[in-house]
Structure 1
């Protein structure tokens, strides 16, 4: 989009584990080349293991990691990766992941964008700004006063003990917990550009009516209206436990109410 060339280090931005492994493989390739050209090395392959394991013992083939149906070369599922072919393997994985493997999708995406605005206008943005525009906020509410952007209704207000506990819990959430909570309450893994202040409709917490023991109930949500139906739990720790259970185990559940 910004006409900047992607390289091996960009893989980590969307697949940290694959990116880390491919960079380590490239370092092994570079070390092999260095040893082969060093006059002081009598056995160039003596110190060329991957985490103290021979590369061949990893049983890698020429298919895209995580996608065995995608062969990097014809018959790739039958071709094993060796120390001698590692450089080719790394190059093909990078190409499939960042270049030719996504070329059609990138062209389709650019074609869609160009129907709305000229692609050249995007050059005014940095990579970080483009990511925020397209993907939303990465830090959900790191520096925001949550109470300023959340409404409390139907049994709750700012002074309610349950709401005080609720806000404290949200502030204590780590990044992954924040993302899981946002996905649970809005249906999207990240907030729009600007954070909670830009969420429309506004996030609203209401008291959930419970027939039995409130501590046995789970919170529920209306993702279309950004409603959180929160039982008035007897303690902050029970609320934390129930919230985390709801947005980890209950994600994807759909009921009419």
Structure 2
């Protein structure tokens, strides 16, 4: 996750976390993590990009002298290129959810207006709607009649282009000047504005970063070797399966040991819970247990070492049953599951109910991300 930090200045972000905000005393802990819809924690200092990571644009005029922010960003991309190439060479997975548009760039494909939807749905949709107005203007002009009033009456969601108060800076990046001067955008220069935004977003504004990435990649092996793959196949090789498991096949690909069998009540509950997880919860569980948010190509069946579930004995003082044979379910309810990610090893207490197990699992998955403790 280190390459996803906002402070590196590498990626576009859909999160407000990388924008200046008011600080409130006592809210430091709250700002460190936020919860997504599935209840799993998301670190506030990481770039949030639901459609995948894509380079943030830097103005061509930004100085790349040694020590500058853009210089550091370029070097980070060079490093990411080397890391990605080495991961592909060694058959390892990376926790780096790149967008399909980024993979298209790796394959030497040029991006245009319609590719922006692949990493920024809001900007892409807005630009396409504005482009439709430009096309309508061209059509009216091509009819040969006097259509000045009709052209002036072209509106964007009921508002004239002038009233949108757009200027020639890159949306979301006010320091990126698209065109010198104080000119504002109207229906007559809207086409130029769209062209400059697209160029800055997928071409000029990211060219130095992509050149550094390719240079780093080529230090390991020739990036042209990737031409045989599609963007989807590259994502599969680098990050693993998006669909992690099917509920019906879980029991066939998991090992149960040290107090558990496939028919143990706790295991039955666990398999039901895993089968009910949302895709986001599946990724969080996989990250918690294996250290990566996706499984390798082939899924659980090829995970090495095999996912193993063992019984975790209660750490509470009163953990003996009346006959002294072992921990009670009630005492187990006080404990959290723990893992050994290097061995894909989950230590699961024998919780009294499925509901308790579900709550404890979600809490451990959410709060245990990135921690390293003895268990």
Q: Quick one: distance in 1 between partners of 2:366 and 2:130?
A: 34
Q: Does 1:122 align with 2:229?
A: no
Please list, as runs of the form range in 1=range in 2, the aligned pairs for 1:182-193 lying within 5 A after superposition: 182-193=286-297
Residue 138 of structure 1 deviates from its aligned partner by: 1.8
Q: Does 1:10 align with 2:102?
A: no
Indicate how the Cα distance of structure 1 residues 97 and 175 shifts in structure 2: closer, same or farther if over 3 A, else same.
Answer: farther
Count of aligned pairs = 254
Which of 27, 32, 43 aligns to 2:150? It is: 43
Unaligned 5+ runs, structure 1: none
Q: Quick one: distance in 1 between partners of 2:162 and 2:359?
A: 45
Indicate how the Cα distance of structure 1 residues 228 and 92 shifts in structure 2: closer, same or farther if over 3 A, else same.
Answer: farther
Aligned to 2:5: none
Residue 186 of structure 1 deviates from its aligned partner by: 2.7
Q: Quick one: distance in 1 between partners of 2:162 and 2:289?
A: 46
Q: Quick one: distance in 2 between partners of 1:243 and 1:58?
A: 48
Residue 69 of structure 1 deviates from its aligned partner by: 6.3
Q: Quick one: distance in 2 between partners of 1:158 and 1:126?
A: 39
User: Over residues 72-105 of structure 1, what are the superposed CA-to-partner deviations in whole Å (9 max), with x where a residue is unaligned?
Assistant: 43679x8766555544443334333322222233
Q: Quick one: distance in 1 between partners of 2:273 and 2:332?
A: 18
Q: Does 1:227 align with 2:345?
A: yes
- Give the 3-state SS of the residue equivalent to 1:234 in structure 2: coil
Please list, as runs of the form range in 1=range in 2, the aligned pairs for 1:239-254 lying within 5 A after superposition: 239-254=357-372
Q: Is the CA contact 1:151–1:202 (under 8 Å) kept in the aligned structure 2? A: yes
Indicate how the Cα distance of structure 1 residues 162 and 9 shifts in structure 2: closer, same or farther if over 3 A, else same.
Answer: farther
Q: Quick one: distance in 1 between partners of 2:141 and 2:214?
A: 44
Aligned to 1:109: 213
Residue 61 of structure 1 deviates from its aligned partner by: 5.7
Indicate how the Cα distance of structure 1 residues 106 and 142 shifts in structure 2: closer, same or farther if over 3 A, else same.
Answer: farther
Q: Quick one: distance in 2 between partners of 1:10 and 1:184?
A: 33
Q: Is the CA contact 1:153–1:205 (under 8 Å) kept in the aligned structure 2? A: yes
Q: Quick one: distance in 2 between partners of 1:216 and 1:60?
A: 57
- Which moves more between the two structures, 153-162 or 199-208? 199-208
Residue 63 of structure 1 deviates from its aligned partner by: 5.0
Indicate how the Cα distance of structure 1 residues 246 and 121 shifts in structure 2: closer, same or farther if over 3 A, else same.
Answer: same
Aligned to 1:161: 265
Aligned to 1:255: 373
Residue 161 of structure 1 deviates from its aligned partner by: 1.6
Please list, as runs of the form range in 1=range in 2, the aligned pairs for 1:81-100 lying within 5 A after superposition: 86-100=190-204
Q: Is the CA contact 2:162–2:185 (under 8 Å) kept in the aligned structure 1? A: yes
Q: Quick one: distance in 2 between partners of 1:103 and 1:250?
A: 38
CA-based RMSD of the aligned residues comes to 3.4
Aligned to 1:207: 311
TM-score (normalised: structure 1)? 0.77
Q: Is the CA contact 2:244–2:283 (under 8 Å) kept in the aligned structure 1? A: yes
Q: Quick one: distance in 1 between partners of 2:192 and 2:247?
A: 45
Please list, as runs of the form range in 1=range in 2, the aligned pairs for 1:21-60 lying within 5 A after superposition: 21-34=126-139, 42-50=149-157, 52=158
Residue 188 of structure 1 deviates from its aligned partner by: 2.4
